[in-house]
Structure 1
Amino acid sequence: MPDMTTGDERTALLDQLKQLWELVGGHEVRAGGPALVEELTGHFGSAPHEMAVLTEEVANHRFVDFDIALEVVAARDAGHRAIGIGGGESRYHHNFSDMIQPPGVGFGGGRFPLAQVDYANVATGPDTERAAIAFGIRLFRYAGVPVAVLLRKANPYRGRGSATLEVLCPDQPTAARLLDELREISLQRSVLRGQVVGLANSGYEQAEEGLTFIARPNLTAAQVILPEGVLERVVDHVVGIAAHAEMLAAHGQHLKRGVLLFGPPGSGKTHTVRHLLSITPGHTVVLLAGDTLRFVGLAAKLARAMQPAIVVLEDCDLIAEDRDMHHGAKPLLFEVLDAMDGLDADADVTFLLTTNRVEAMERALAQRPGRVDLAVEVPLPDEAGRLALLRLYAPVGAFGEEVLAETAARTAGTTASFSKELIRRAVLAAAKEGLEPSDAHLRGANDVILADGERLSRALLGVQDSGVPGNGADPRATPDGSGSFHLI
């Protein structure tokens, strides 16, 4: 039978079928319990759709902070409670204002039932987590006024790139004051405060939205082998200013500081940083290295909010001339220095930079004066330092003082990593023989690691060829021939 319908009739029919399909797809069988609109009407004593919704977008890594803040404020009301929202997949695509419309009004009007609250386990530290509300409403009274706050976690797969708080309240000034207090408490009680975090996520550590929680190191001053006075200078500048921040601020002195640790690979710069983090448990620490250095702007903002804070930027020489990690016209190092300058002078924030090649940074430092106010050379250990390192890494009582001193004398130009590996090889050699480590094992391990066949191994431990005895070169020589670099 021929089709007698016109094009307009077919279009109208298809539109009707589409509308029917949307109604069927969005319909959810009620379980007999109250609807969301009915629950909110009872809470407010009036129709919720007549009230305005005040929405606050929250950065993903701050979501758990606002969950904590909201719990703190709601708990002041003994009658507070949390409710969930049903509605299947469609609930994720509706704003709070859509959900509270009366039955028959709009696509979402009256059809969302109550359900259990959705929770999500969120990292709050290196080995802790919290079951935070991922999708749910807290009902309570704030300053005597009933409020309902819908908290939802970011869900990029459903078109929501950031977390949100949606406040429903009959009085808008009260809603605004509530959000102000939530912001304040979220900063005071932030899970980031006092933590060590990295702006990278490998999938193996406790992480939340691009931030990785890292266990704070525990490294004493005795475990950091540096020339006399070097460690003390760094600690005094970083910790001393923080300890006297109030008096310095009262006398108009800036608190923000920049510290540059420079020296050859393996000289102890990272160990120095780890010690600083060990003795500053109240500081929030942000670690940046490699390609994460491009996040220095975010790190600076985070540090400003969570001060006292330390921002660690490792191996900055690698980005001194590099434009590949970002889309700016200048090398990334200039962007790093600009971010340092962007913080207010009263910010109790330390920028701690390390570099193996300070000469690669001199141009940037000269063109951005004042960003770094203390530059400290961390040289390779001298003979006394190498002896101290061998004592540090050696098992107690395993080797005699004579062989330790002999080994220190033979390993000029080597690094702390070299000393640590040398001791391990000696112990391993003893284990293979089924014996306790002895002087002979240390001498044997030293002979092997200094042999020509171990040249690459030495290089990977931070030792240059000039560090091998007998070549006539000074392993601590630097480009200006003085043994140290001159900062402009």
Structure 2
Amino acid sequence: MSVPEKLTTEQFATAFTDFITQMAGAAQQAAAPGAYVELLTDHFGVDPLSVDTVSQMFPWWRHADVDTALATVFPETTPKGLRYPQGSEVSFSELLTDRYQQFEQGALAYETMPVGFERRRRVITNGLWVAQFKGQPVAVLQTKNQSFGHAQSQLEIMCAEETIGDELSPELRRCMDLHSTLRGEYVTLAGSAFQDEGLSVQFHDRPRIREADVILPSGSLDRIRRHVLGLSEMKAQLREAGQHLKRGILLYGPPGTGKTHTVRHLIGGDSSTTVIVLTGPALGNIAMAAETARALQPALVVLEDCDLVAEDRDFGDGGRPLLFEILDTLDGLSEDADVAFVLTTNRAAVLEPALAQRPGRVDLAVEIPLPDHEGRLKLFTLYSQELSFSPQGLRDAADSTEGITASFAKEAIRRAVVNAAAEQRSAGDEDLRGAVAELLSDQDLLTTKLLASAQDWDTDGSEDFDEDLHGGLDE
């Protein structure tokens, strides 16, 4: 018996690879066809591996819309469940070749998702829809894809006729938008698509703030309402006249003066409007938000504290300022889209260079200044409702608080009530005078700063204590 020559490392690796490939092929030929191969062969009448497929990805927060669209397009179809090891890649190719015999039919897997404020619904996580569309056989694989570090909703469509696939994809997208859980809702996008957890959507109860409770200089609120809400009411006339509906408005001024309070009033102004709020890292996802707003119009997109991203860089070539990306997205939306963009900032000077280089993105800029004497009196009156302060006591408070903000006025009323309650009595004018003096005193200098009084407001905007849209102090 002759002894074979010693193999080199490269020769051994090549031979071993060939051996493994041959063994895998033999095992696949020996194995009985999987249940899905038989199912789809019977459905299409041909080998399903010869049928073309098209994949579509959607943000995970739109998975409930994907689920609804499938049920709408295929009302007579009951999807089939998939069972496979956790972490496995799920696709028609993997499902049909099933090289490791890991897929089998089983019960549908569900996940509960938010579909509105304090509302949740069970949606299919992974399912196979074997159906008919316009009289032709189709199959749609609905899965949760986590291959990019965060969840995405994936659809893979299998159609024997290419024209059917070309019609099915837009029909599913149309149904997603028409029946979207986001339509007419007030939501915030949090996080970033570049973070592991990805973007998440949080639904909020729509605030109800009366016009009388928004204390601004005379005429300011009317201008803001007309630009944001009024144009939607006139959209038929504007479109007929060839005028654009898309609009942008900038609200600027010191922290605590009423910008966010004004935005909350606008959010509650029309319950049929879809509201999408971006703040912090989520501002980098303006393109996705704008696309969603266009699909779900009429819509309002709120970009809070845009000055905070004025110097941030995007992920494209050259690393342009993220603010330019925001302004370009506003410009890229079609002119007849009934979408209003509301930008807020404490530092208008930071935005001016970008706005100057991108003219036309913002149609109206409205200053929300520190309240004058009349405004301060209205604020003290507003926050003292059902309390026993006299008209003169409220005027005295307004007289002595030049340069303060709405946040300051609200805290002064609250502190007067707290001080009186500590002595087990109702608050009166003396308590209000004492609370105002206390907040303005040297001992409470930091509190005054936190409430953003004029004399302590850092003009570069570093003292940013503007209220959150969804709670905290009303400006």
TM-score by length of 2: 0.83
**Residue identity opposite 2:147 in structure 1:** P
Alpha-carbon distance, 1:161 to partner = 6.5
Distance 1:366 1:112 in 2: 58
Distance 1:454 1:432 in 2: 19
Distance 1:449 1:335 in 2: 42
Secondary structure at the aligned position of 2:411 is classed as helix
Secondary structure at the aligned position of 1:211 is classed as strand
Alpha-carbon distance, 1:81 to partner = 1.2
Secondary structure at the aligned position of 1:199 is classed as strand
Contact 1:263–1:378 under 8 Å retained in 2:
yes
1:275 maps to which of 265, 271, 280: 265
- CA 1:63–1:466: 2 relative to 1, 3 Å: closer
Equivalent in the alignment of 1:197: 187
**Residue identity opposite 1:275 in structure 2:** H
Contact 1:226–1:378 under 8 Å retained in 2:
yes
2:178 is the alignment partner of 1:188: yes
User: Bigger CA drift: 445-454 or 12-21?
Assistant: 12-21
Distance 1:317 1:167 in 2: 43
Equivalent in the alignment of 2:440: 450
Structure 2 segments unaligned to the other structure (5+ residues): 458-475
Overall identity of the aligned pairs, in %: 41
Alpha-carbon distance, 1:451 to partner = 1.0
2:73 is the alignment partner of 1:82: no
Equivalences for residues 371-390 of structure 1 within 5 A = 371-390=361-380
1:232 maps to which of 219, 222, 225: 222
Equivalent in the alignment of 2:424: 434
Distance 1:222 1:375 in 2: 22
Alpha-carbon distance, 1:281 to partner = 2.0
Alpha-carbon distance, 1:13 to partner = 9.0
- CA 1:18–1:427: 2 relative to 1, 3 Å: farther
Alpha-carbon distance, 1:304 to partner = 2.2
Contact 1:61–1:208 under 8 Å retained in 2:
no
Alpha-carbon distance, 1:331 to partner = 3.5
Structure 1 segments unaligned to the other structure (5+ residues): 468-488
Alpha-carbon distance, 1:214 to partner = 3.3
Secondary structure at the aligned position of 1:153 is classed as strand
2:312 is the alignment partner of 1:309: no
- CA 1:153–1:227: 2 relative to 1, 3 Å: same
Contact 1:294–1:326 under 8 Å retained in 2:
no
Secondary structure at the aligned position of 1:248 is classed as helix
Equivalent in the alignment of 2:164: 174
**Residue identity opposite 1:131 in structure 2:** R
Alpha-carbon distance, 1:412 to partner = 1.3
**Residue identity opposite 2:216 in structure 1:** L
Equivalent in the alignment of 2:56: 56
Contact 1:201–1:212 under 8 Å retained in 2:
no
- CA 1:42–1:317: 2 relative to 1, 3 Å: closer
1:355 maps to which of 338, 345, 370: 345
Alpha-carbon distance, 1:47 to partner = 4.9
Alpha-carbon distance, 1:120 to partner = 1.8
Equivalent in the alignment of 1:134: 125
2:110 maps to which of 115, 119, 128: 119
Equivalences for residues 332-411 of structure 1 within 5 A = 332-411=322-401
Equivalent in the alignment of 1:475: none
Deviations 1:393-444, CA, capped at 9 Å, x for gaps: 2250332222122111111111100011111111111222222323332222
Distance 1:20 1:161 in 2: 36
Alpha-carbon distance, 1:238 to partner = 1.1
Distance 1:317 1:56 in 2: 35
Secondary structure at the aligned position of 2:130 is classed as strand
Higher RCO (C-alpha under 8 Å, 6+ residues apart):
2
Distance 1:16 1:360 in 2: 64
Aligned residues: 446
Secondary structure at the aligned position of 1:304 is classed as helix
2:92 maps to which of 80, 96, 107: 96
Equivalent in the alignment of 1:151: 142
1:241 maps to which of 231, 238, 242: 231
Contact 2:330–2:361 under 8 Å retained in 1:
yes
Distance 2:287 2:218 in 1: 35
Distance 2:319 2:99 in 1: 49
Contact 1:256–1:344 under 8 Å retained in 2:
yes
Contact 2:254–2:346 under 8 Å retained in 1:
yes
- CA 1:6–1:85: 2 relative to 1, 3 Å: farther
